[in-house]
Structure 1
Amino acid sequence: MNYSEKVEETVEYADLINKVQSVLDFVCSENDELKIERDCAIRNNDPYYYQAINNNMKTNYIISSTLLAIRRDIETMHDDIRADINQEKNALSRSDQTEDNA
């Protein structure tokens, strides 16, 4: 196993995409509940409660956006690692062929 494969294995073992996705799912479910509470605040004509809920929804939006960016970065990192592994394997294979021809 070459160094690139070890890096890929370590990154996959960390399972960062699923961890980020779990937090995203939680934030989204919280946002759904906040929408219900916001509707209740509107019906009860409670502007302070409504504003607090809106602030929480804005915070959840920022958290979700940041987590989505992190998830995209992780996916890009995985793609880069796979490309490096393929490039390394091709280089090793060419090196083996050169040695065989010599």
Structure 2
Amino acid sequence: MNYSEKVEETVEYADLRNKVQSLLDYISSEDEQLKNDREFAMKSNESIAYQMINNNIKQNYILISTLSAIRSDIESMHDEIQMDINKEKASSVQSTNSTDNA
């Protein structure tokens, strides 16, 4: 097993994509409930509750945006690792072929 494959195995074991996606799913479901609560607070003329809920929605937006960027970075990292593995494999095959021809 070459170095890139070891790195890939370590990254896969950490399962960062699924962890981030779980957080995104949770926050998104909470966000839907907050929007329903905000609508109720608006209809009930509860301005303080409406403002607090609105602030939570804004905070969730920031969290979702940040986590989405992290997920994108993780996916890019996986792609780069896979490219490195393919390069190492190609280099290894080429090296083996050169040795066989000698």
TM over 0.5: yes
Residue 48 of structure 1: how far off its partner (Å): 1.1
How far apart, in 2, do the equivalents of 1:77 and 1:29 lie?
A: 28
Counterpart in the other structure of 1:28: 28
Which amino acid in the other structure matches residue 72 of structure 1?
S
Q: Give 1:46 shift.
A: 1.1
Q: Spell out the pairing of 1:14-25 with structure 2 (5 A cutoff).
A: 14-25=14-25
Name the CA distance, whole Å, in 1 between partners of 2:85 and 2:43: 58
TM-score scaled by length of structure 1: 0.98
CA deviation profile, 1:18-54 (whole Å, cap 9, x unmatched)? 0000000110011011011101111111111111111
**Which residue is equivalent to 2:76?**
76
Letter in 2 for 1:24: L
1:89 paired with 2:89, answer yes
What is residue 5 of structure 1 aligned with on the other side? Answer: 5
Give the superposition deviation at 1:70.
0.3
TM-score by length of 2: 0.98
**Secondary structure of 1:45's partner?**
coil
Percent identical: 61
1:73 Cα offset (Å) = 0.3
Partner of 2:45: helix, strand, or coil? coil
Aligned residues: 102
Q: Tell me the amino acid that sits aligned with residue 64 of structure 1.
A: I
The CA RMSD over aligned residues, in Å, is 0.5
